[in-house]
Amino acid sequence: MNETVEDYVCHMQVPLTSFPAEFAGSHYAFCSEQCKQRFLANPRVYVGFPGNKAPGQEGKQVIKRRRLLLSEPLDTTQIEHVRQALLEMMGMHEVCIEGEKMEIQYDLMQVTVEQIADKLALVGASLGGGWIDSFELAFINCQEEVEISSLEVNNKKHCSGSGGP
């Protein structure tokens, strides 16, 4: 009988051996490499500490909306290919491509801008013709990582006064 566990990023039930990872002496399993990498980048966002629930355990979402500008519009086939590829990713909520603008909405707790850019590069490679080079990415990786890092549960005790423990 296959034992299942919860993927702490997307909350799906997955086999114990699916995309395994270790953190702080505990075993974790994930539905995909995307969820595994999201967890490993900031594990305390998802597992917290005993007595301190993590934002991920409380169902917190960090919804982002980003706009990418194209140097030229995509044709109908390209639009559908890009749209479907992005919507297959965990945490992607919306993809709208009109003219020279692409707007995406996603949950930063499940997917990062870096993962989205990697997916766009793969899609661009399959479309050929230097397609990915037509993007002016309007993403700022550092700001997102600072934002998600600030959600990590820490184990610091808060003391009142200026003395020791």
Whether 123 and 82 have beta carbons less than 8 Å apart is answered as yes
For the full predicted model, state whether its pTM sits above 0.85: no
Per-residue confidence (pLDDT) for residue 129, from 0 to 100: 60
Amino acid at 63: I
Query: Using one digit for the tens of pLDDT, what is the confidence trace for 101-137?
Result: 889 999 999 998 888 888 888 887 777 665 655 554 4
Whether 86 and 54 have beta carbons less than 8 Å apart is answered as no
Query: Using one digit for the tens of pLDDT, what is the confidence trace for 15-49?
Result: 999 999 999 999 999 999 999 999 999 999 999 88
Q: Could you tell me the residue ranges of all domains in the chain? A: 4-58, 63-148
State which fold the 63-148 domain adopts. Answer: Alpha-Beta Plaits (3.30.70)
Token pair listed for 159: 């003391």
